[in-house]
């Protein structure tokens, strides 16, 4: 297969994960990196063994060799930078959220469509083999009608009052935090699997730490737990630490999920329970190689990620034999594989999450915030 | 200890469980049984090895030997029969719900208080050693401030359209089903453990099977799964199969739970997650001998029901050594033990669920129904 | 059913468990208790609400009202007392081990057979519903041919050098400890389920604490963990804390198990894995309400103890609906139920463990000890 | 970091896994591939996006650009090819087993030492963060003295009589199968963690399928489960499907493990339980992101792979935050990272498994076979 050349803008927590994931494919070269300034870019490029480095997005985008761009900047920059990438005619893989508002995200969807570039957004949890298997079960009629869906997404990296990260600043991360950061993954998964759309929501958002202690030095996502900052300043917090959301699907079924970034002991537990008229499926991202399948009239099952037991659809996402567990980095690799196979022309299908999905999640987020403020059902305006 | 003599009215699913539980205490004799008619009463008494049988509540209550009465009748009879028991001056242990409405339950609380009889209601899940341990942790400050609470209560015994039981008939069981039958247990547990009261609720109730097929013969609670009825008639169903409830505690924290009687593979899964400022606790009634305790800054724990590891409070509920698991029947035994020790004068404390708790759960149920109908927060009127 | 009257000799850890278990049956009255002396007998009888008490076995056995005797004395007394019970013509339910040697146990088997009394031995783990289900699977051909069996029985109640109990004294408990105390349960279970006999063994026994610190006051089984003795004397220990045993079944298949009373964190974990040509079954006594069933060509299953999902054989051992877990005390109740239904004439079958089973386990133990001493295979002499 | 150039010989199941793992490092280029003939080599190189391909080992080794060689050939070729690699002066990373006999492996250890090339062998399970954490616990004294060790390694990919693979042929794979293939991983892990050496063994090996049905076409390791071969020939099998091994450590403690390639439902379950005087640790490779830690006097723990909770040693093996599970491919990556950091001069330590470890495992295997044949303890001749 012809080698495809890619570049990346932004190298915080998720950037290096993108780099590693695309390298696994073998047919993609990560040739350039862009950071806030030249010095940082050079250092990061050296650290990540990437040949070229740029301190400006314009210069980076002017590099003709780069065919695909990974937008891994902080949230508030996603919109402007993705616009520029599209304008440059390069393919774009954006981190989520797609933008800060649906006004922006709608614009990006349109621009990408008009330009014809491949556009993708990193809803990485879809790409676990057993999430694909759940979707295959729904599509194949094995689940039956969807009765209801439940679950939660719980973490503890913002548990303490002294935990700090740029995601706590609305100007950088957006007006919603727990729901936008991780609730969006939950919604994307459940919609992807069920094939149903969330039509309206009834939500209650809460800020547990109404004041947080901000350390004076920078802290990267998820890495604050490793630090012991000696110097803080109090900062008022307006975004939610915790949320409960009831929702209604397009088929009339309902469900609920809760999201918390202050749940001690849960690290990154995306958990769903989907009840159908033939069986139910339950999955926990912290134990991603097993899916519980519940039955009324026979024993429940625990399906292990074993290619020989999976549907053809899911098998394409399982690269190692049963009992050789695959996990978070492999989901990301699967996402990149689907996108780059399409870019390479080896796959015609758009079997990956696109800017449209990114827009959809922002629409749900806005409805959740509106519902919580109004204490009533809010319709999602896609 | 002086032997106490007890009698029981009603012997469906839960009646025999009461009989077995009190027999384990050793100092209580189950001497009389009352059923809908003399023939049935005699047969049941023979089957359960109970010496006396009565076909009328009046005759049963006239039996001077009976000191304590277990009210295990269907829900719609609870109120009238408990009133009569109180009037007879005997102690009363009622199955839940306490009555059909808060109007009734409030009356029972008053009557019991006035009469001075011991009054108890069977919120049996409180009496698991590890539920007691969770309460001890909250009381001892080990959990810290309650941040939020979540969970679910899922079952599959009413999963199929052909599943039938008297609990599907509002006139016999009440206007709420899933929430009243099992959601009430969830609420009782979480309030008991946290020491907090649910102040208001935001709920959405759903009926999955809007028509059910009723078999022509009687089916007892939980036993329908064993039958293969050959003859049905369609019946409209108005009570909820499934519900999502968001709530607010008296300390301002919030939470949510979902209840389903149509979740394939879950048999009777009362599950809660309680997040505190020092740690969190998670418990699943289907694996009752272990409690997960989550921490941010050290490894999570799994506490086994081992008397040597429990607080003094919980140790009183663990009668066998660690690794000798105790389960559902033992929780019921613990409930009976607390009540009968009090009746016997061996314990001064009222360390068991009383009519007041039964009333409280009905108040929550009514608020849940009001909220779902009005699509807005409803305050619980205790 | 006619009431049956029972008495009990010995009331340490397991005696009260017997009393509680038979009381649950409803048709058995525990009318008499015998202890080492009259004072202790009286106090224990009062505590356990048993009407009659005896300070001598002879007087106790002379009581004509007693029809069945539970022999719950320390191990070294089992033989002599069971002999006397048989001689008295009463039915006998012995705690395990049946005796101290196979010479003794063989004699008891013969005496019991000759006298015609009902004889039973408490291998209680057989009586869990899911152990019965495993047996039903083997009998019904669902497991196929037995390929091999593995497992362990691990505890921590003798983990510390300061843990003390009469079971550490060979004169009171026997020459083998870990293997005899709990390994025997493992062997009984695996033979019961598989229907195969252990023909020869290859074993290695180890004493971890070659000296232990003995407290000056008495400590009951499993309760040492609750104490903090202030005064000890060092005692040499000859019995094994830990053992590895390889064995061969009567069908030529092999297996192994390890036993440890010094495994921190395992409380009483009887665990087996049975591999068959059609599927495999795995069960952990610390989570007794679920059985894992492994398949090569379809998803694995987790069968919950739910009467509607069990075979007819196992269903008789499950008294509560699915999701209403039953546990250790219920297994003991099931044992008593099978024995007493037989004594009452309500069941013709001898579907419970008898003195023959007790003898068999002693024969295995002796072979294990012989093998370890000789460092070679030892044939079990049944 | 200077780019290092690597090549690979052999591209069956594990070869592509090596390629992917080294690509993740960023500073290693996989530039050449060698296969049995030029045609196959070219096709595989194309498929794996590797620029150069060779049909002969000699030509491949003559390529001056290649600095490091991965020996991923079938077992019977390991020895000769590794000898040639060493002779060529290139660094060598061998798949296990190091050779077919200890005579060969001893020679390789010497040759590698003499030549001074970096030599490594792929005992990949060592490189899971939580296996490293267990080692750190032992080294840091947190486990205390090792009391005993147990476990198993169970699979089902050779469960059926129709399962076929070259590993069933002693001439290609060696005289031992289950023990050599996967038992060696178990032994390597337990020795690595405990810091103890296995001194002698007492073993019993069994062949369940004494005849197997061989398909006429080639089947790659682990992939036979995906095929439905239509044509077979019966072949006698001499290597073990199943084994039980008791062993003694250098500190006098003992242990046991069983290995089975015929255990339905277990896919690749490397499982160990290590009992120490302060706590015990239990780990299951099929759920690699959690380690159970057992205590006698406090609740057990479940440590999640979370860098903020790990020791410095283990933290270096965890590249993603807590709750972002890493798994099999990441262990392999960690192995490659340690080896290549050393090759690159960025790490002075030999913190990876070397030819000496490969030799040690062969020595254990030979002792296991000798013990089984002689039915007695066999000393390991390292």
pLDDT tops 60 at residue D66: yes
| pLDDT score for B222 | 65
Q: Distance between CA B355 and CA B353 in Å, rounded?
A: 7
- Chain D residues with beta carbon closer than 8 angstroms to that of C279: 264-265
Q: Is the pTM of this model over 0.90?
A: yes
% helix, strand, coil for chain B, step of 5: 35, 25, 40
A122-150 pLDDT, tens digit each: 999 999 999 999 999 999 999 999 999 99
Q: Does D303 touch chain B (CB under 8 A)?
A: yes
Residue B305 CA to residue B129 CA, distance in Å, equals 7
Residue C44 confidence (pLDDT):
97
To the nearest whole Å, the CA of A163 is away from the closest chain D CA by 13
Distance of CA D283 to the CA centre of its chain: 17
Find residues 311-350 of chain A whose CB sits inside 8 Å of chain B: none
Contact of D23 with A20, CB cutoff 8 Å: no
Beta bridge partners of C30: C6
Segment D51-72 shows an average pLDDT of 98
What pLDDT score does B227 carry? 57
Residues of C in contact with B222 (CB under 8 A): 321-322, 324
CA distance A226 to chain D (A): 5
ipTM of the complex: 0.95
Residue A29, chain D, CB below 8 Å: the answer is no
The average pLDDT across D333-353 equals: 97
Q: How far apart are CA D122 and CA D110, in angstroms?
A: 19
C302:A299 CB<8 A: yes
Query: In terms of CA atoms, which chain A residue is nearest residue C322?
Result: A296
**What gap in Å lies between CA D185 and CA D169, rounded to an integer?**
20
**Among partner residues B297, B300, B309, which is closest to D302 by beta-carbon distance?**
B300
Q: Cβ separation of C322 and B223 shorter than 8 Å?
A: no
Instruction: Outline where DSSP puts E strands in chain C.
Output: 4-9, 28-34, 52-54, 68-71, 91-94, 119-121, 146-155, 198-206, 211-215, 232-236, 242-249, 254-260, 268-276, 280-284, 290-294, 300-304, 378-379
CA-nearest of B17, B18, C19 to B7 is: B18
Q: Examine the pLDDT at D52 and tell me if it is beyond 60.
A: yes
Q: Cβ distance D342 to D349 under 8 Å? A: yes
- CA Rg value for chain A: 21
User: For B7-25, what is each residue's pLDDT tens digit?
Assistant: 999 998 899 999 999 999 9
Q: Does residue B81 register a pLDDT over 90? A: yes
Ranges of residues in chain C whose predicted pLDDT is under 50: none
Distance from CA of C187 to the nearest CA of A (A): 27
Å between C287 CA and nearest CA of chain D: 16
Q: Which of B253, B264, B296 sits opposite A296 (nearest CB)?
A: B264
Mean model confidence pLDDT for chain D: 96
Q: Which sign does the torsion angle of CA B340, B343, B348, B352 carry?
A: positive
Mean pLDDT within B151-178: 95
What pLDDT, on a 0 to 100 scale, did the predictor assign at position A219? 64
Task: Identify the band that residue B218 occupies on the pLDDT scale cut at 50, 70 and 90.
Answer: low
DSSP state of D167: G
Mean pLDDT of B44-52: 97
Read off the tokens for D295: 């205590």
| Cβ-Cβ contacts under 8 Å, B304 against chain C | 267, 286
Query: Among C225, C308, C320, whose Cβ lies nearest the Cβ of B308?
Result: C225
Neighboring chain A residues of D19 at a CB cutoff of 8 Å = 26
Residue A202 phi, psi (nearest 5): -135, 110
Residues 244-263 of A with CB under 8 A from B: 244, 246, 253-256, 258, 260, 262-263
Could you read off the pLDDT of B272-297 as tens digits, one per residue? Answer: 999 999 999 999 999 999 999 999 99
Chain A interface includes C309 (CB < 8 A) = yes
Closest CA to A288 of A245, A317, A308: A317
Write out residues in chain A with pLDDT < 70, as ranges: 218-230
Lowest mean pLDDT among A6-20, B225-239, C179-193, D51-65: B225-239
CB-based contact, B375 to chain A, within 8 Å: yes
pLDDT for position B292? 98
Local confidence band at B229 (pLDDT 50, 70, 90 cut-offs) = low
Nearest-angstrom CA–CA distance, B308 and C250: 42
- What per-residue confidence (pLDDT) applies to B232? 83
Contact assignment for A304 to C304 by CB distance below 8 Å: no
């Amino acid at each position: 297969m012809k080698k495809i050349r890619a570049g990346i803008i932004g190298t915080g927590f998720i950037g290096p994960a993108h780099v590693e994931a695309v390298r696994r494919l073998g047919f993609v070269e990560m040739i350039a990196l862009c950071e806030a300034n030249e010095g940082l870019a050079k250092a990061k490029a050296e650290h990540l063994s990437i040949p070229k480095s740029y301190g400006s997005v314009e210069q980076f985008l002017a590099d003709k060799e780069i065919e695909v761009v990974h937008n891994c900047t902080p949230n508030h920059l996603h919109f402007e930078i993705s616009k520029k990438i599209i304008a440059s005619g390069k393919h774009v893989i954006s981190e989520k959220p797609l933008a800060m508002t649906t006004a922006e995200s709608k614009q990006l969807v349109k621009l990408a469509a008009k330009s014809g570039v491949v556009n993708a957004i990193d809803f990485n949890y879809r790409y676990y083999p057993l999430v694909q298997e759940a979707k295959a079960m729904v599509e194949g009629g094995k689940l039956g009608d969807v009765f209801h869906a439940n679950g939660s997404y719980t973490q503890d990296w913002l548990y303490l009052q002294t935990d700090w990260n740029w995601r706590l600043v609305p100007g950088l991360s957006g007006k919603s935090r727990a729901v936008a950061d991780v609730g969006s993954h939950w919604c994307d998964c459940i919609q992807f699997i069920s094939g149903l759309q969330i039509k309206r929501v009834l939500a209650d958002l809460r800020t547990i730490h109404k004041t947080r202690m901000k350390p004076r030095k920078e802290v990267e996502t998820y890495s604050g737990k490793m630090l012991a900052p000696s110097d803080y300043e109090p900062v008022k917090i307006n975004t939610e630490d915790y949320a409960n959301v009831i929702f209604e699907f397009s088929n009339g079924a309902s469900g609920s999920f809760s999201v918390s970034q202050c749940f001690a002991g849960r690290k990154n537990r995306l958990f769903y329970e989907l009840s159908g008229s033939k069986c139910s499926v339950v999955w926990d991202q912290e134990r991603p190689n097993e899916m519980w399948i519940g039955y009324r009239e026979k024993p429940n099952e625990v399906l292990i990620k074993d290619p020989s037991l999976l549907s053809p659809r899911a098998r394409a996402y399982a690269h190692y034999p049963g009992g050789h567990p695959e996990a978070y980095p492999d989901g990301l690799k699967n996402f990149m594989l689907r996108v780059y196979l399409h870019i390479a022309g080896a796959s015609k299908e758009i079997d990956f999450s696109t800017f449209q999905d990114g827009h959809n999640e922002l629409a749900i987020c806005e409805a959740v915030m509106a519902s919580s403020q109004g204490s009533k059902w809010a319709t999602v305006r896609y």
